[in-house]
Amino acid sequence: MPKIRYICLSDMHLGNTCSLLTHLDPKDLLPDPMRPSPVLGALAKCLSSLLPKKETDDENNPTLILNGDILDLAFSMENQAAMAFERFIEQILPLFRKDIFYIPGNHDHHLWETARESKYTQFILGKFGQQSFPKDQEPLPAPWHSTRMFVERKQQNLATSPLLESLFKMHGLHKGPTVVYPNFGLLSQDNRKCLVFHHGHFVESLYRFASTLRDLIFPARANPIHTWNLEEENFAWIDFIWSTLGRSGSAGRAFGVVYQIVKDHRETQKFLSACTDRLAGCSSSKWLALTRPLLRLICPYFLGKILQPEKLLKSERSSLEKRLSDDAKKGLKWYIEGPLKEQLSIELKREGTFPEVTFVFGHTHKPFQGEIDSDEYPGGVKVYNSGGWVVDTVEREPLYGGTIILVDENLELCSLRMYNESGKAKDYRVCVAEVCPHGVTPSPFSEEIRGLVGAGISPWKDFSDTVASEIDLRARYLKQTIKNAQSTKGPLRYYPP
C-alpha cells in the first residue's frame, strides 16, 4: 500500500440539494440529510481501498484536509448542512487521524467568522479572566483576520469552530477540526518542498470587490499585500453574499432559485418577463394602470440590459468557456506572487528564496493541474485544482468534476480525478493525474496510486456508475426547480418549499 500522509477534499457543499454528497430522494426530489447519499457511500469505499486494512494506530492513518465549501451555508440552512456533515463524519472520518484541518471557503466563510470570534473571546478571558479591566492596562488589540499558515509546527492557541466542535462531540469524537484561514501550509522535513492549500476565492476578483471599490473611491490608498488585510477589507462582503444571504428564510431560498435561473439565458429572459409583469401590475391605481404598457417596454430593457443579471451573478464557477478565465489566471498569479509570497516570507523568515512550492485550490469546480511561471519562485509553481461535487447546470458540462488530492510523506502529490460530467454513462471513470513536465518521469507515488485504481473494477466502477446516475437525478431536480419557478403568476415560486 502507498504511504498516503494527507488527503484533501474541497467543495462538497454538504446540505445543498445539488450536491452529490447530500442525499436526494429520487421520487419527490427532496433532500434527506438524515441519510447518506449513494455517492458519499461509494466515495468512502474508494478511500478505504487506498488505505491499509484494519489500521488501528491513529498515527499511521492519513490526515484529512478540508479545503473550503465543505458545508454550504449559502443555499442551505444550518441544520441541513450540519446533518449532511454528520453523515460525512459517519462515513468518512473513521478512515483518518484525529487531527483534521479545515480551511473555510466562501460558502462556509461564516465558520471562520465564528471561529475567529470565539478565539478572540478566549484571548480576552485568558488575559483578564473575571477581573475588571485595569486602568493602566494597554488597549485590547484589534481582532485578527487570519491564522498562521504552518500551524502543524505550532500546535497551540489554534482556532476551532463551535459548530463543528459540537457535531464532533455528538459523535463521540474528542475534538473538532483545527480551523486555518486563508492558507494552510506543509513543509517537508528537509525544508525543500512546500505545499499550500487555499480554497481559491481570493483568486477571483469578485471576492476582492470591497478592496477594488475602496481603490476607486480612494486611489491614493495602498493595495492590501497581506492575507489578513485582504480578509479584513472583504470579510463582510464575502460573509453576507455567499455565506449568509441564502439562509435568510424564504427570501434566501428565492435568491437561490434566481441564482440557478440566471445561468441559462433563455430562462433568464422568461424570468425577466415575469418580473416585468409583476412590476407593471403591482398597483391598482388608475394612473399606474395607464403607464403599464410603458412599463412593459422599459422594464425588460432596464432589468436585462442595465442590471445584466447574467453577468452580475456570473462567477468563475459558472464560466464554462475554459478551465480558468483570463481574470482568474491573472488573479491566481497575483495571489501567489503577492499575499501568499508575503506570508511565506514572514513565516519562513526568508527573503527572495523559497522552497519548491505547490499550490492547491478548489472553488471553481473545474479540476485541472498545471504550472505557473514565476520569477518569485525557483522553477515556478505547480498548481492543482480539486474541482467540486455539485451539479450546477441542467446540461452536462465536461469541465465540471470532482477530485481527491493525495499527498505522501515526502509531499509528493497526485490528483485522483473521480469524475467529469458527461452525457454518456460510459464516459465516467476514475483516473490519476499529476503535473509532469514533458520528458519527466511520473513520480513513484502517482504510479503506485495508478496501479490501485482500475476503471473497470470495484469499488471504482461502482463509484462511476453511481455518480453518473446521481448527476442525472440532480439535473432533473434543477430542471424541475426552474420550471416550477416560471409556472405561476409570481416568478419566485421555488421548489421544493
Amino acid at 284: S
Do 374 and 269 lie in one domain? The reply is: no
Do 384 and 406 lie in one domain? The reply is: yes
Do 205 and 344 lie in one domain? The reply is: yes
Do 163 and 227 lie in one domain? The reply is: yes
Do 83 and 104 lie in one domain? The reply is: yes
Q: Which domain holds residue 259?
A: 245-314+479-486
Indicate which CATH number applies to the domain containing 422. 3.60.21.10
Nearest partner of 457 among 429, 477, 433, judged by Cα: 429
At 381 the pLDDT is: 95
At 245 the pLDDT is: 79
Q: What SS3 state is found at 479?
A: helix
Is residue 491 assigned to a domain?
A: no
Amino acid at 173: L
Do 365 and 454 lie in one domain? The reply is: yes
Task: Please give the Cα distance from 24 to 14 (Å, whole number).
Answer: 12
Run of H or E including 17: none
Do 300 and 398 lie in one domain? The reply is: no
Do 228 and 371 lie in one domain? The reply is: yes
Strands 413-420 and 178-179: unpaired
Do 228 and 289 lie in one domain? The reply is: no
Quote the pTM value: 0.89
Task: Please give the Cα distance from 168 to 89 (Å, whole number).
Answer: 8
Contacts of 71 (CB under 8 A, 6+ apart): 13, 14, 15, 81, 82, 84, 85, 107, 108, 111
pLDDT digits (tens, 9 = 90+) for 437-479: 766 788 999 999 999 997 678 899 999 999 999 999 999 998 8
Task: Please give the Cα distance from 227 to 200 (Å, whole number).
Answer: 13
Is residue 494 assigned to a domain?
A: no
Structural contact between residues 463 and 43, judged by C-beta atoms closer than 8 angstroms: yes
Separation in Å, CA 80 to CA 22, 77, 176, 403? 9, 5, 19, 24
pLDDT digits (tens, 9 = 90+) for 230-257: 999 999 999 998 888 777 777 777 777 7
Structural contact between residues 272 and 304, judged by C-beta atoms closer than 8 angstroms: yes
How many structural domains are present in the chain? 2
* Ranges of residues in the chain whose predicted pLDDT is under 70: 1, 53-58, 128-137, 153-156, 259-314, 351-352, 438-439, 455, 485-497
Is residue 99 assigned to a domain?
A: yes
Strands 431-433 and 413-420: antiparallel
Do 215 and 267 lie in one domain? The reply is: no
Do 255 and 170 lie in one domain? The reply is: no
Is residue 493 assigned to a domain?
A: no
Is residue 403 assigned to a domain?
A: yes
Separation in Å, CA 161 to CA 69, 395, 466? 14, 37, 33
Do 342 and 263 lie in one domain? The reply is: no
Is residue 239 assigned to a domain?
A: no
Is residue 496 assigned to a domain?
A: no
Q: What is the CA radius of gyration of the chain?
A: 24
Run of H or E including 210: helix 209-217
